[in-house]
């Protein structure tokens, strides 16, 4: 067992960027307020260490930040873009979707666009509809983009480093609610491969496929289910494009039941992709209809009781899982 | 041969510069390139009518002086970002005309392997980082390219051409602000051809336009006659020299006119024929040729520039027509490395 240190999700990301900047002089970061450490502190100390040219404070100008990163990538550097909130990254959608994702293809492979677009996602208390969204499905839909959503400190270290080393544009979705989360992080060089899921918990009765902060809700639900004698397998995808289809198929082959859980709105969410894929490949093996559990199709509200209406809870996950594993569900299928 | 500036002293005065020192060989080079652009685009329009050019093309006929004036003052290592009306810029930067025509025909061997077409022509080997189908989107990309040059300690500059319609988009403001804040070596060129697609730009633009907007951000700007190749060449040369000396960004607002419709298929009935005719009288190629004739360049040499261009484009037209389609496997190539679409069939 390699030596490890307990650290936070946010500190793991700072370490990842620092290590990659030290390794490769072409790597730099640009965004608003980076010199002060970034809006959440994920860039703390980096400008002092690497200078203002490589940890660049930019105007509040998301379109230009992303567009400049595209140009900087085409011209031979490896920019890490900070968008503060994934909601704000919508101001840079043309630059990400029309430019970054397509330049390599449209220009016949003359250049690649190695950039990382960090877009903090997810609900945190009372931030309301413009600071809380989870829009990962939009990006997974766009050819050319890689989509990553780490849930643990170790993965935030290993996946951010892999994202920076990738030659593709990577949409990198850190969950705002996870910044203070502590966990063991390997000492020394640690790279997590993009496209490989993590089996967070093994089980025989039901597969829960999830990512980002919902990993922890699913594990909590799995513990509650275990008390009832239902053993849920929890798969944290870690990356949505590419996603680990083999791991998911193998798990559902074993359990016969799939519940996809995500924080994003259920309608048109990435859970639909996983559910459809599994239904296409394992229909005969399924012991219950595939289900999805996500948010209702409502913007996220400010007042806690209203905000909670959009929240996917461990109770809701356990309840859905119980319905799928009850004998009646098997009969219905 | 020098002193050609005497042929249009009013332009020199307007620019407020001392007498010119432009040599004939240089200006004949401009003329040759302008003819090549004109002949290329006329061939492309013929290709559209013959069903060989696919999709839309946006000709720059009448605007050739802008392309040569700017791009012939760049080194090959300098970078260029262009627009959906970018054939002229790309040719003037040194891209291979044959590969460009194959790209317009969607054929194998095109600049982008037949995957980009007219609006996405790029030739990174000559520093041409791409035409762009989204108006104004090239501006932030240009400042980012300049930012990268600065980070790696390079001495190249970046030229970014965009149309008059682009100055009403946010990326214009954001990109110019960025360039000035970081003092980057970007030559912004607003190629003002009077029309935003099928609407007169002046009807949709508040204030005094591109130069005033640049100056409001502290970026030196100059407004020029975009059909005067001599004036453009001199202004661009001075601007490029200033950029290389570390002046920070500059903007040229060049006023010209699109003699065709928005696309080659657009007959442009929305325009006053008298307006078109008045601009046709100011055709930049004819003007430069006349200036060179006045300066004593032999008629045969001027005719050779024209005839050579048309012969070249005739030949590449035939070559492009004979070229095969790209292999279908190319549709799956160069999408991405991680999660490549060919990794697993669905």
Q: For chain A, say whether B218 makes contact (Cβ under 8 Å).
A: no
Residue B343 confidence (pLDDT): 59
Residue B19 confidence (pLDDT): 41
Query: Chain B contacts of A105, Cβ < 8 Å?
Result: 115, 334-335
% of chain B beyond a pLDDT of 90: 91
Distance from CA of A297 to the nearest CA of B (A): 29
Query: Chain B contacts of A106, Cβ < 8 Å?
Result: 112, 115-116, 120, 122, 130
Among A28, A55, A107, the strongest candidate for a mutation testing the B interface, having the largest count of B CBs within 10 A, is A107
Tokens 């997590």 sit at which residue? A192
**Torsion angle defined by CA atoms of residues A257, A259, A260 and A266, in that order, rounded to the nearest 10 degrees:** 130
Distance from CA of A166 to the nearest CA of B (A): 7
Does an H or E element contain A232, and which? Answer: strand A232-236
Interface of B with A in 76-105 (CB under 8 A): 79, 81
Q: For chain A, say whether B116 makes contact (Cβ under 8 Å).
A: yes
Nearest Cα to Cα of residue A270 among A299, A293, A298:
A293
Distance between CA atoms of residues B61 and B272, nearest Å: 17
Residue B265 confidence (pLDDT): 94
Q: For chain A, say whether B181 makes contact (Cβ under 8 Å).
A: yes
Tell me phi and psi for residue B201, to 5 degrees. Answer: -60, -35
Model confidence at B8, in pLDDT bands (50, 70, 90)? very low
The CB density around residue B59, as the number of other CB atoms within 10 Å, is 26
Taking only the tens place, the pLDDT of each residue in B216-251 is 999 999 999 999 999 999 999 999 999 999 999 999
Tell me phi and psi for residue B297, to 5 degrees. Answer: -70, 130
Distance between CA atoms of residues B118 and B44, nearest Å: 10
pLDDT at B155 over 90: yes
CA A260 to chain centre: 15
Model confidence at B1, in pLDDT bands (50, 70, 90)? very low
Query: Would the CB atoms of B122 and A146 count as touching at under 8 Å?
Result: no
Distance between CA atoms of residues B114 and A204, nearest Å: 51
> Which tokens belong to B154?
């390079």
In A32-113 the beta strands, taken as DSSP E runs, fall at 55-57, 78-82
Residue B342 confidence (pLDDT): 72
The dihedral through the CA atoms of A97, B154, A166, A192 has a sign that is: negative
A109: left (phi over 0), alpha (psi -120 to 50) or beta: left
The whole-chain average pLDDT of chain A stands at 96
- pLDDT tens-digit profile, chain A (333 residues): 679 999 999 999 999 999 999 999 999 999 999 999 999 999 999 999 999 999 999 999 999 999 999 999 999 999 999 999 999 999 999 999 999 999 999 999 999 999 999 999 999 999 999 999 999 999 999 999 999 999 999 999 999 999 999 999 999 999 999 999 999 999 999 999 999 999 999 999 999 999 999 999 999 999 999 999 999 999 999 999 999 999 999 999 999 999 999 999 999 999 999 999 999 999 999 999 999 999 999 999 999 999 999 999 999 999 999 999 997 655 554
Residue of chain A whose alpha carbon sits nearest to that of B336: A144
**Torsion angle defined by CA atoms of residues A134, A140, A146 and A152, in that order, rounded to the nearest 10 degrees:** 40
Distance from CA of A251 to the nearest CA of B (A): 19
Is B325 within 8 Å of B115 (Cβ atoms)? no
User: If you ran DSSP here, which 8-state letter would residue B167 be given?
Assistant: G
Model confidence at B163, in pLDDT bands (50, 70, 90)? very high
Residue of chain A whose alpha carbon sits nearest to that of B152: A26
pLDDT at B257 over 60: yes
Q: What residues pair up with A210 in beta bridges, in sequence order?
A: A236
Query: Would the CB atoms of A71 and B134 count as touching at under 8 Å?
Result: no
Distances (CA, A) of B53 to A4, A17, B39, B113: 61, 47, 15, 15
Residue of chain B whose alpha carbon sits nearest to that of A61: B174
Is B88 within 8 Å of B248 (Cβ atoms)? no
Query: Would the CB atoms of A95 and B137 count as touching at under 8 Å?
Result: yes
Nearest Cα to Cα of residue B69 among B196, B193, B240:
B240
CA A217 to chain centre: 15
pLDDT at B18 over 70: no
Residue A283 among the catalytic residues:
no
Angle at B33 between CA B134 and CA B175, to 5 degrees: 30
One DSSP character per residue, B80-114 reads: EE--SS-HHHHHHHT--HHHHHHHHTT-TTSTTTT
Residue A331 confidence (pLDDT): 53
Taking only the tens place, the pLDDT of each residue in B110-133 is 999 999 999 999 999 999 999 999
Tell me phi and psi for residue A285, to 5 degrees. Answer: -85, -15
Query: Would the CB atoms of A59 and B146 count as touching at under 8 Å?
Result: no
């Amino acid at each position: 067992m390699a030596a490890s240190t307990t650290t936070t999700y946010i500190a793991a990301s700072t370490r990842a960027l620092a290590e990659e900047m030290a390794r490769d002089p072409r790597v730099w970061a640009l965004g608003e307020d980076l010199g002060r450490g970034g809006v959440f502190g994920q860039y703390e100390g980096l400008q002092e260490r690497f200078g203002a040219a490589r940890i660049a404070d930019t105007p509040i100008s998301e379109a230009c930040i992303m567009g400049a990163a595209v140009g900087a990538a085409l011209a031979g550097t490896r920019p890490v873009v900070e968008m503060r909130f994934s909601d704000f990254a919508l101001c840079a959608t043309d630059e990400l979707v029309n430019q970054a994702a397509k330049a390599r293809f449209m220009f016949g492979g003359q250049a690649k666009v190695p950039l990382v677009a960090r877009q903090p996602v997810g609900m945190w208390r009372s931030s309301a509809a413009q600071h809380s969204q989870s829009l990962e499905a939009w990006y997974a839909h766009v050819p050319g983009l890689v989509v990553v959503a780490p849930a643990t400190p170790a993965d935030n270290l290993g996946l951010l480093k892999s994202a920076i080393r990738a030659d593709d544009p990577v949409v990198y979705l850190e969950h705002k609610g996870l910044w203070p989360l502590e966990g063991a992080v390997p000492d020394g060089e640690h790279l997590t491969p993009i496209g490989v899921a993590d089996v967070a918990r093994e089980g025989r009765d039901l597969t829960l496929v999830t990512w980002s902060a919902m990993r922890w809700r699913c594990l909590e639900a799995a513990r509650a289910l275990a008390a009832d004698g239902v053993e849920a397998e929890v798969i944290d995808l870690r990356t949505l494009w590419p996603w680990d289809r083999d791991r998911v198929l193998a798990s559902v082959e074993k359990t016969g039941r799939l519940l996809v859980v995500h924080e994003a709105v259920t309608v048109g969410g990435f859970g639909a992709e996983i559910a459809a894929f599994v239904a296409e490949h394992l229909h005969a093996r399924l012991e219950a209809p595939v289900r999805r559990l996500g948010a209702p199709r409502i913007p996220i509200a400010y007042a806690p009781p209203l905000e909670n209406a959009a929240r996917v809870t461990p109770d809701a996950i356990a309840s859905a899982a119980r319905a799928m594993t009850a004998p009646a569900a098997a009969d219905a299928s | 041969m020098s002193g050609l500036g005497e042929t249009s002293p009013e332009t020199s005065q307007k620019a407020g510069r001392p007498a010119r020192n432009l040599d004939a060989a240089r200006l004949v080079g401009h003329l040759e390139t302008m003819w090549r652009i004109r002949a290329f685009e006329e061939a492309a329009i013929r290709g559209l009518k013959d069903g060989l050019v696919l999709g839309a093309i946006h000709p720059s006929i009448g605007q050739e002086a802008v392309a040569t004036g700017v791009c012939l003052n760049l080194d090959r290592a300098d970078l260029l970002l262009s627009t959906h009306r970018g054939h002229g810029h790309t040719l003037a930067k040194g891209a291979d005309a044959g590969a460009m025509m194959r790209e317009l025909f969607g054929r194998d061997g095109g600049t982008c392997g037949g995957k980009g077409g007219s609006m996405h022509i790029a030739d990174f080997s000559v520093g041409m980082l791409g035409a762009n189908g989204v108006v104004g989107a090239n501006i932030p990309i240009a400042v980012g390219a300049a930012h990268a040059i600065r980070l790696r300690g390079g001495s190249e500059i970046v030229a970014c051409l965009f149309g008059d319609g682009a100055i009403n988009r946010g990326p214009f403001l954001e990109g110019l602000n960025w360039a000035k804040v970081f003092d980057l070596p970007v030559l912004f060129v607003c190629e003002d051809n009077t029309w935003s697609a099928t609407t007169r730009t002046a009807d949709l633009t508040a204030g005094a336009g591109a130069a005033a907007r640049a100056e409001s951000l502290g970026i030196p700007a100059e407004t020029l006659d975009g059909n005067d190749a001599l004036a453009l060449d001199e202004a661009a040369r001075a601007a490029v020299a200033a950029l290389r000396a570390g002046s920070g960004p500059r903007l040229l607002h060049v006023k010209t006119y699109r003699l065709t419709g928005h696309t080659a298929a657009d007959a442009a009935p929305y325009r006053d024929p008298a307006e078109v005719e008045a601009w046709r009288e100011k055709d930049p190629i004819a003007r430069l040729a006349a200036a060179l004739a006045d300066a004593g360049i032999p008629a045969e040499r001027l005719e050779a520039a024209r005839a050579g261009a048309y012969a070249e484009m005739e030949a590449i037209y035939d070559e492009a027509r004979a070229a095969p389609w790209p292999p279908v496997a190319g549709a799956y190539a160069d999408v991405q490395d991680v999660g490549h679409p060919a990794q697993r069939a669905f």
